[in-house]
Amino acid sequence: MRNHRSRQVEIIDRLEDLAQKNASDFSTVTPVADFENDPRICLTSVHFPLLELKNLILKEIQPLKYKFPEHYYYDHESLHLTIKNIRVINDPPHFNKEDIKKAENIFSNIIPRHSKFNVCFFKLLLFPNNLSLIGTTDQELDNIILDLDEELKRWGLADDKKYINSKYLISNVTLARFTKPVTPAFRKMVNKISKEIETDPYTVDSVSLITANAVLKKLQIINSWKLME
C-alpha cells in the first residue's frame, strides 16, 4: 500500500503536467502590472515561516531575481505557506465582515485541536503565472483541511478555489509572480535550482487567518492560533 507521501508526489507530478500544458483545472491568479497595489483581496489562512527558512528560500531564488528582475518576487515579509483558502482574490472582495467573523470562530474552534505537522520541500514548480516551492507533508494537514472544510460549508463559507484534488494535500510557497511569459532561459535556471534544493523537514506550528492581495500586501491579520505539540 502506497504511503501518504508517495500519493502526494503523484499529485505534484500531475500538477506539473497540467502546468506545462497550461491547463486550467485549478485556480490561478491573473497577472497585473502592479502586484503590490493590486486591489483584489482574498480571505485565506497561512503559516508565516521562521526567519531561517525564509533566508534559505530567498537565497535559493536570488539568482533568478538577479537575472530576471522583470518578475515580481516575494520578500521576507510576504513569504508564507498557504494552509486553507476561503475566498479567492477579487475586487470587490467575495466576503464581508460577517464572513470574516464566522471564519475566525471556525478557526478558533478547529485549529487548536490539531497538531503540528512537518513539511519536506523538495522542488520548484512552474505554474502558468507563478513559481512555487512545493513540499510533501504529514497527513495532519489533510485532517486540518477536512475539519475546516466541513465547518466552512456548514456556515455557508465553502472554499471557492478550484483544486485538482481533495486528499493528499501538499504545501506550497509562492516565490514569484510573472509579469510576462517566462523565457526558456528562466525555465532552465528554475530546473537547475530545483534539482539542487535540500531542506530539512520544517515544522508548521501555527496558522493565521488573513485578508490580503496575492503578494500579501494590504495585509490584515485577523487572528493566529498555535497547533498542539
Tens of each residue's pLDDT in the chain, 229 residues: 369 889 888 888 888 888 777 766 667 788 999 999 999 999 999 999 999 999 999 999 999 999 999 999 999 999 999 999 999 999 999 999 999 999 999 999 999 999 999 999 999 999 989 999 999 999 999 999 999 999 999 999 998 887 777 777 889 999 999 999 999 999 999 999 999 998 899 999 999 999 999 999 999 999 999 999 8
pTM: 0.94
d(CA 157, CA 97): 13
Show Cβ contacts of residue 4 under 8 Å, excluding neighbours closer than 6 positions: 136, 138, 139, 142, 168
Domain boundaries in the chain?
4-27+38-226
Q: Tell me what pLDDT residue 24 has.
A: 60
Domain with residues 4-27+38-226, CATH architecture: Alpha-Beta Complex (3.90)
Are 178 and 31 a contacting pair, CB within 8 Å? Answer: yes
Q: Tell me what pLDDT residue 25 has.
A: 60
Q: Tell me what pLDDT residue 18 has.
A: 83
d(CA 43, CA 88): 7
Nearest alpha carbon to residue 85 among 158, 135, 134, 36: 158
Q: Tell me what pLDDT residue 162 has.
A: 78
Q: At what angle do helices 140-154 and 97-110 cross, to 10 degrees?
A: 140
End-to-end CA, the chain: 28
